[in-house]
Amino acid sequence: MTFLDRAEIAEECGVFGLYGNPEAARIAFFGIFSLQHRGQESAGIAASDGTKIRMHRDMGLVTQVFQEERLAELRGHIAIGHTRYSTTGSSVLRNVQPLLCECDLGPVALAHNGDLINAAELREEMLERGVEFETTNDSEVIIKLIATSGACSIEDAVVETMKKIRGAYAVVILTCDKLIGIRDPFGIRPLCIGRLNGTEYVLASETCALNTIGAQFVREVEPGEMIVIDEHGMREVQAIPREGSALCVFEYVYFARPDSQMYGRTMHDVRRRMGHELAKEHPAPGAHIVFPIPDTGTPHAIGFAEASRIPYAEGVIKNRYIHRTFIQPDQRMRELGVRMKLTPLKESLAGRKVVMVEDSIVRGTTIGPTIKMIREAGAVEVHVRIASPPYKHPCFYGIDTANQNELIAAKLSVEEIRQYIGADSLGYLSLPGLIRAIGVRRDKLCCACLDGKYPVEVPRSAKLSKFVFEEPAGVK
């Protein structure tokens, strides 16, 4: 067993696509670099010059995978890119995206954010038909469904595939002459459209990627919609019926970059308002300072300080050169992992009653050692405030929390969690407070991890383990 340095909620993936620029791969590099926060395990880019698709992908951060000579090899005016955190399939090279497949329709490359809940069933059906698989991720199910559809066009093949897959997906697809984007019928995973230089089109998981390359935001891809971009421009097709609106609420709490916007709301502003609501619901009278666990807790803490009129300060400094460390999960090693990532500022903490603001507690493995470290730095009281409700239910839509036994709030009450982590007080933002802060109707969000109400029904028989396809018999 391994321990993730960020052992709480795991990131999703980031996807990016561009049509119409002769330096498409280079721009895609900047696009997925902007989405690096969504996954730090691997990265890849595929590009087409109209006749051939070239691709490079590898393990590591975007800047580790791509150097100038690699980007120069990816010639073409169309490109897609991916940065990955694994939610189905191990973090190994064969699972790195984009995936590339040759079929009767020509070469097709694909990059996917999300998780399918019926991937195992679909894969078993294709294996029985003699379809071979090279990876252990569910994204290959999508590309193999497209490749084996027998449809006369790539658009028809994609529509047929969308009718079969269930779950969460935001996908960009590359052919020799087209860029296609699709989104699941509930819109659980984000995907937006941008325009660059007036004539070039962009697809991206978040608007921050548009900002980086100087593109203008056009709109979000609608649930169940297919966007087709080629030499004739952009076409919008409602490929399958829209079943609702259920954007993942944790995009607002944690996932999306603070400068991104969704449903017309900037994440930083929403998170400040979460801090405001949190201060109203769980004040901390007598506290001397408010500080965040950086970086994701920062806007929440700013909002809490504003509403409570308790001074905002830096209580800990984050080592920004640490991404993910894999260490043994005994308590001593866990504490060392925390200290590698965070350093307390004794001048801010010594002799003070402090409010520590964090975005969430999921597994609860790192916050206890953090509180202990803050006390050792001289804090006399540590009051913890969490800018989201208790995370009680597993996610099956692309977040690595599919095992409910690992979720601390599913097993312990708030008071029991407070005792377990060693805080003087503990307060969670309520679900109504969270919805008020976001400013979006509850029926337009997926809050399944908080309230157990899943927009896409998850069959009890579904095989949903992260490593469901790892068995040797499942890979030909």
Segment 312-315 long-range contacts (CB within 8 Å, at least 24 positions apart): 313/289, 313/345, 313/348, 314/345, 314/348, 315/289, 315/291, 315/344, 315/345, 315/348, 315/349, 315/354, 315/356, 315/374
**What number is the average pLDDT over the span 202-206?**
98
Q: What is the pLDDT of residues 139-179, one digit of tens each?
A: 999 999 999 999 999 999 999 999 999 999 999 999 999 99
End-to-end CA distance of the chain: 27
Strand partners, 383: 355, 425
Sign of CA pseudo-dihedral 231, 233, 239, 245? positive
The rounded mean pLDDT for the chain is: 90
Confidence check: pLDDT of 197 > 60: yes
CA nearest to 257, candidates 3, 31, 455, 80: 31
Helix (H), strand (E) at residue 301: helix 298-308
Q: Residue 282's pLDDT band (boundaries 50, 70, 90)?
A: very high
**Among 79-93, 123-137, 433-447, which is the least confidently predicted range?**
79-93
Confidence check: pLDDT of 91 > 90: no
pTM score: 0.90
DSSP assignment string, 407-465? -HHHHS-HHHHHHHHT-SEEEEPPHHHHHHHHTS-GGGEE-HHHH---SS---TT----
Confidence check: pLDDT of 463 > 80: no
3-state helix, strand, coil in the chain (%, to 5): 30, 25, 40
CA nearest to 83, candidates 37, 115, 46: 37
CA distance 89 to 100: 17
Q: Residue 219's pLDDT band (boundaries 50, 70, 90)?
A: very high
CB proximity list for 31: less than 8 A, separation 6 or greater: 16, 18, 81, 202, 204, 209, 212, 213
Catalytic-labelled residue, pool 13, 176, 395, 449: 13
CA distance 116 to 148: 18
CA atoms within 13 A on the CB side of 52: 5
Helix (H), strand (E) at residue 383: strand 381-386
pLDDT of residue 333: 53
**CB-based contact 17:8 (threshold 8 Å):** no
Q: What is the pLDDT of residues 405-461, one digit of tens each?
A: 889 999 999 999 999 999 999 999 999 999 999 999 999 999 999 999 999 988 775
pLDDT of residue 321: 64
Q: What is the pLDDT of residues 284-300, one digit of tens each?
A: 999 999 999 988 899 99
449 counts as catalytic: no
pLDDT of residue 9: 52
Q: What percent of the chain has pLDDT over 70?
A: 88
Residues 308-331: b if buried by 16+ CB within 10 A, e if exposed: bebebbbbbeeeeeeeeeeeeeee
CB proximity list for 23: less than 8 A, separation 6 or greater: none
Q: Residue 470's pLDDT band (boundaries 50, 70, 90)?
A: low
Q: Residue 3's pLDDT band (boundaries 50, 70, 90)?
A: very low
**CB-based contact 384:426 (threshold 8 Å):** yes
Q: Residue 318's pLDDT band (boundaries 50, 70, 90)?
A: confident
pLDDT of residue 158: 98
pLDDT of residue 90: 52
**What number is the average pLDDT over the span 16-35?**
98
**What number is the average pLDDT over the span 314-322?**
82
**What number is the average pLDDT over the span 221-235?**
98
| Phi–psi pair at 78, nearest 5 degrees | -130, 140
Domains and CATH numbers, the chain: 3-246+469-474 (3.60.20.10), 267-438 (3.40.50.2020)
pLDDT of residue 458: 85
CA nearest to 43, candidates 87, 88, 78, 93: 93
DSSP assignment string, 162-206? HHH--B--EEEEE-SS-EEEEE-TT--S--EEEEETTTEEEEESS
Amino acid at 11: E
pLDDT of residue 253: 96
**Among 33-42, 106-115, 408-417, 459-468, which is the least confidently predicted range?**
459-468
CA nearest to 72, candidates 27, 25, 28: 25
Q: Residue 471's pLDDT band (boundaries 50, 70, 90)?
A: low
The two tokens of residue 413 are 């009450």
pLDDT of residue 327: 37
